[in-house]
């Protein structure tokens, strides 16, 4: 398979499959809660519907409010093309560095928080405040968990990390397992899942992400929701292929690529099931309890680095 086709697949994989990830998580949660639930394709229908709706924009909104959804969605596309999904040999030296990925995701958080405050809404203001607080507390755990596998592999390029960790002996993977525990906590925090936020509510006392985007509608709301799904897919790809990279393709043969796609589908399904189980058995924590959970993530990653 030519490299151009592979890069097209790499670039389109995250935005094309991310709504399906959301649909699968909702479906598994419905089954666990003894409900029928919507189709796994419902997020695609929701995005399509929003793309065809008119927008209502506050008279107090500035260019930041109009520009933020485009910037957030563009950032998730760039990061999505910079993380390994099915192959480890497609590394690029521009955006595949761990620090670049972390800072780009932080920039997306900055834009969504800024947009939440732009219209002067009370909901947007406290949602942005909570978002920045959680993001600031989560960055340490995220960076140190990724730093663990970077130190184990001797490189900060995520494609090279996946390639090196895939060939490591299982007995040397204990630090990666500790780091993954910290990473999974950050995954829940950064994507506003339980116990940090309730992604399916608009109640004032429980929402963080939804509070910031209440003023959005139509096409811009579709971009934000799509970007949110892209972000979750990016974190799943990082977790699956940096900490458990077994099955990832190391060459462009059809057999290796087909096996890598199947392996990634299985690992992504395991992540979806884990998130659904967490959201079905754990209640949302009070906001002042969240720093304790995120501190655990940081400590687990520090322990992982100490074990190397």
Specify whether the backbone of 259 is left (phi greater than 0), alpha (psi in -120 to 50) or beta: alpha
pLDDT over 90 at 251, yes or no: no
pLDDT over 80 at 303, yes or no: yes
| % the chain with pLDDT above 70 | 97
The DSSP letter of residue 307 is: H
Q: Which residue has the higher pLDDT, 186 or 1?
A: 186
The pair of structure tokens assigned to 165 is 């960790």
The per-residue DSSP string of 238-297 comes to HIIIIIS-TT-BSS--HHHHHHHHHHHHHHHHHHHHHHHHHHHHSPPPPGGGHHHHHHHH
The pair of structure tokens assigned to 26 is 């909702």
Q: What pLDDT does residue 47 have?
A: 96
Q: What is the CA radius of gyration of the chain?
A: 19
* Structure-derived torsion over alpha carbons of residues 114, 118, 120, 121, reported in degrees to the nearest 10: -70
Sign of the Cα torsion 17, 18, 24, 30 reads negative
Domain that holds residue 255: 3-307
Helix boundaries (H) for 33-121:
42-51, 63-80, 98-118
Q: What pLDDT does residue 89 have?
A: 83
Q: How many domains does the chain have?
A: 1
Q: Which of 111, 305, 99, 279 is nearest to 195 (CA)?
A: 279
Q: Which of 219, 214, 228, 225 is nearest to 119 (CA)?
A: 214
Identify whether the C-beta of residue 132 lies closer than 8 Å to the C-beta of residue 115: no
Q: Which residue has the higher pLDDT, 170 or 257?
A: 257
Number of neighbours of residue 220 by Cβ within 10 angstroms? 23
Give whichever of 140-154, 188-202, 276-290 has the largest mean pLDDT. Answer: 140-154
Number of neighbours of residue 77 by Cβ within 10 angstroms? 17
Buried b / exposed e along 253-278 (16+ C-beta atoms within 10 A): eeebbeebbebbeebbeebbebbbee
pLDDT over 80 at 199, yes or no: no
Q: What pLDDT does residue 204 have?
A: 58
Q: What pLDDT does residue 206 have?
A: 59
Residue 19 phi/psi, 5° resolution?
A: -60, -30
Tens of pLDDT, residue by residue over 110-120, are: 999 999 888 88
Tens of pLDDT, residue by residue over 228-248, are: 999 999 999 999 999 998 889
**What is the reported pTM?**
0.94
């Amino acid at each position: 398979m030519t490299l151009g086709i592979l890069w097209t697949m790499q670039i389109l994989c995250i935005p094309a499959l991310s709504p399906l990830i959301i649909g699968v998580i909702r479906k598994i949660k419905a089954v666990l809660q003894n409900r029928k639930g919507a189709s796994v394709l419902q997020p695609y229908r929701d995005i399509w519907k929003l793309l065809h709706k008119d927008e209502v924009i506050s008279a107090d909104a500035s260019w930041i409010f109009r520009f933020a959804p485009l910037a957030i969605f563009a950032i998730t596309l760039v990061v999505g093309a910079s993380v390994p999904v099915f192959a480890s040999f497609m590394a690029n030296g521009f955006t595949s560095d761990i620090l670049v990925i972390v800072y780009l995701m932080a920039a997306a958080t900055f834009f969504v928080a800024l947009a939440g405050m732009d219209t002067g809404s009370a909901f947007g203001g406290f949602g942005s405040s909570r978002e920045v607080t959680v993001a600031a507390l989560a960055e340490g755990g995220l960076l140190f968990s990724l730093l663990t596998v970077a130190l184990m592999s001797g490189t900060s390029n995520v494609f090279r990390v996946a390639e090196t960790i895939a060939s490591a002996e299982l007995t040397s993977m204990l630090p990666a397992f500790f780091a993954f525990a910290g990473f999974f906590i950050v995954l829940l925090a950064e994507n506003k899942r339980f116990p940090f936020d309730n992604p399916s509510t608009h109640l004032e006392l429980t929402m963080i992400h939804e509070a910031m985007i209440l003023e959005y509608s139509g096409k811009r709301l579709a971009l934000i929701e799509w970007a949110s799904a892209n972000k979750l897919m990016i974190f799943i790809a990082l977790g699956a292929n940096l900490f458990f990279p077994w099955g990832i393709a190391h060459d462009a043969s059809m057999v290796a690529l087909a096996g890598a796609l199947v392996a990634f589908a299985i690992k992504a399904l395991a992540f979806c099931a884990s998130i659904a189980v967490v959201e079905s058995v754990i209640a949302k924590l009070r906001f002042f309890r969240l720093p304790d959970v995120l501190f655990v993530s940081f400590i687990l990653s520090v322990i992982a680095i100490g074990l190397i």
